[in-house]
Structure 1
Amino acid sequence: MARLNMLLFLVTVALTVVAMIDCLATDRTRVQHFPRNAWLVLIVLCPVAGAVAWFRAGRVGAGERTILSGQTSDWTVAPGRAAPIGPDDDPEFLRLLAEAIRNR
């Protein structure tokens, strides 16, 4: 039982440390919902819940559409739609390419 408690403690500490480092390393423009200092306090005071909340809602991830300071970034897409991985996966690009080849 003591080993299980020690393992749970170490997992909690590791999760908290990783969440704090990620919060500090994340660009200020990608932090959302709360200021960075509030996220750090939440992560420290509620280690598991704060860390999970940070990873789920605290930062803008790739593929999410979020308005930051009145602007949308070019790399975001609407929710529910996967971003094209390459130009050959983008139907708009393929349409323009076929049109350019026809007009040669």
Structure 2
Amino acid sequence: MARGEKLDIEFSSFDEGWEADNRKTEQKPVAETLAPQKHRLVFKKEKRRGKPVTLIGEFFLEESDAKALLKRLKKALGSGGTYKEGWMELQGDKAPQIRELLEKEGFGFR
């Protein structure tokens, strides 16, 4: 085949035994939202790729409220983090600082 020549390729139809996978994933039912004073949060520490991660949860807040709270925490601590399935994951071993900031917000701990 010389340079610049087009390939002549034929494709078979997707109608011959192929189907789309339109299954929907089952979503966790939304729990009722609680006031910060009614939360009883727990700390967990894990190592991910050799680095410490602090998990805080479980939060019973609207997702937008939880993400706003996470944004304030990340800014105050100067670290990264994410919100997944009711749990906040913050980079680093910062449980004492997080506890102090969340107590100012009115959250309770076990």
* TM-score normalised by structure 2 residue count: 0.24
Structure with larger Rg: 2
Please state which structure has a larger fraction of its residues in strand.
Answer: 2
For CA contacts below 8 A with separation 6 or more, give which structure has more relative contact order: 2
* TM-score normalised by structure 1 residue count: 0.25
Please state which structure has a larger fraction of its residues in helix.
Answer: 1
